[in-house]
Amino acid sequence: MDPKAVLEYAGKNGAKILDLRFTDLPGLWHHISFPIQQLEEKSFEDGFGIDGSSIRGWASIHESDMLLVPDPKTAFMDPFRDTPTLCMIGDVIDPITKQAYPRDPRHIARKAEAFLGFSGIADQAFFGAEAEFFIFDNIRFDQAAQHGFYFIDAEEGRWNSGREEHNLGYRPRYKEGYFPVPPTDHYMDLRTDMAMQMMACGLNVECHHHEVATAGQTEIDIKFDTMLKSADNMMMFKYIVRNVANQYGKTVTFMPKPLFGDNGSGMHTHQSLWLKGKPLFAGDKYAGMSQMALWYIGGLLKHAAAIVAFAAPTTNSYKRLVPGYEAPVNLAYSRRNRSAAVRIPVYSASPKSKRMEFRPPDPSCNPYLAFAAMLMAGLDGIENKINPGEPLDKDIYDLSPEELKEVPSLPGSLEESLRALEADHKFLLKGDVFSEETVQLWINYKMKNEVDAVRMRPHPYEFQLYYDI
């Protein structure tokens, strides 16, 4: 939609409130609301004033005034509000220079798309992310000087099989929750409601299903789109999922590893490049891929340790990315093999379906930053013709220790991935997509507020290990 069409859309739907959304550095959506009468055609140029001083990773108090300029292409009616509310995502603008705010994650994704066009390699990058999440009935957690705990409960959790009161059974076994029909799948109706709300808001849902873990692990797939649009869609996806669950009296988490001893939640990200309406990843090389696609994979594998500082960006991410378990920590590529960090799907021989899937990301990431980092790594691979090596078509988990030594692996902690980013980020600086200041800001923020904060606090399991030592 253009500005005029948005105003007509608002009138047709009886909108009374304008709600503008934007994303902080770690990846949380924020919003500010205005009476709809304040939205005019000139608003799409002039924007709305906001105070950015309390937004994580943004400006200090002395330079906090900012403008939020609505993007008319992102308009949708909020299905959860009692008062008809028109929502749009805004771009953050410096009111003095009238330039895009360099710390706005959406601006970084925009620059990555622009860099792709300037490169001449392609004019479109398509991304399709598969975000998994858990649906719980109750969550309690607290952290203080003398205590720290979390307690999760879910009606569907296998641990409730021995409960005395009102126990009907039908709970997925640990690591056996993939595709069971109801009543073992407790959440088909809830997922369908989520999918219907997504479609009402303009998302293109492909399918939904129960995932591997017990306790309501779920996946809802939405169709791929251009990189920026896919990042916008992921923010809307999370918003809708959380609000529908809340209406049912349940809670959703995109933490990658909330449960010990069962599968974590990933966000496998499919990627392809196109030029003038033609796919560039189809060819006569391995798995029907082009040489360009293999170089793109080479870039992802070379820079993977740095990429996961954005794509698996929490201390909890590395509870999922553990060698020998379900997550793909080994840096290899393969067709069909889901134990490789890069998988080449072979569902179809159509050139338009040719893509690669990067499997280490998880849904705790900021999609604007994670997608931009992946694209920049892939483009670096193409520019420098980085050889991804030989494909690994064996099951990586069955390799001998000698064979595994030949396969590099991802960092084992958030701190290691941040150190890798510190040592390897020149590929992100091309075209001023990421600035040196933004990369250092990310590293410092994550080290202080997450790595050090977790490191300084006793872990509950340490009491089991060491209390009587």
The phi-psi region of residue 432 (left if phi > 0; otherwise alpha if psi is between -120 and 50; otherwise beta) is: left
- Active-site hit among 71, 78, 211, 262: 211
- Compute how many other C-beta atoms are within 10 angstroms of the C-beta atom of residue 266: 25
- Active-site hit among 113, 219, 221, 262: 219
- Active-site hit among 171, 320, 359, 425: 359
- Active-site hit among 91, 225, 357, 380: 357
390 counts as catalytic: no
User: Could you identify the residue written with the tokens 């290990």?
Assistant: 465
- Active-site hit among 132, 137, 155, 221: 132
Q: Are 177 and 214 in contact (CB under 8 A)?
A: yes
415 counts as catalytic: no
Residue from 212, 167, 207, 166 nearest 185 by CA: 212
Beta strands 342-344; 333-335: pairing state: parallel
- Compute how many other C-beta atoms are within 10 angstroms of the C-beta atom of residue 157: 22
- Active-site hit among 163, 173, 338, 457: 338
62 counts as catalytic: no
63 counts as catalytic: no
Name the E strands within 204-259. 205-210, 217-222, 225-226, 251-253
343 counts as catalytic: no
Beta strands 205-210; 217-222: pairing state: antiparallel
219 counts as catalytic: yes
211 counts as catalytic: yes
- Distance in angstroms (rounded) separating the CA atoms of residues 174 and 94: 50
The rounded Cα 375 to chain-centroid distance in angstroms is 14
The phi-psi region of residue 349 (left if phi > 0; otherwise alpha if psi is between -120 and 50; otherwise beta) is: alpha
- Distance in angstroms (rounded) separating the CA atoms of residues 67 and 466: 53
Rg for the chain, CA atoms, rounded: 23
- Active-site hit among 106, 107, 208, 268: 268
Q: Are 242 and 198 in contact (CB under 8 A)?
A: no
Beta strands 225-226; 251-253: pairing state: unpaired
30 counts as catalytic: no
- Distance in angstroms (rounded) separating the CA atoms of residues 107 and 22: 11
- Catalytic residue positions, numbered: 51, 130, 132, 211, 219, 268, 338, 357, 359
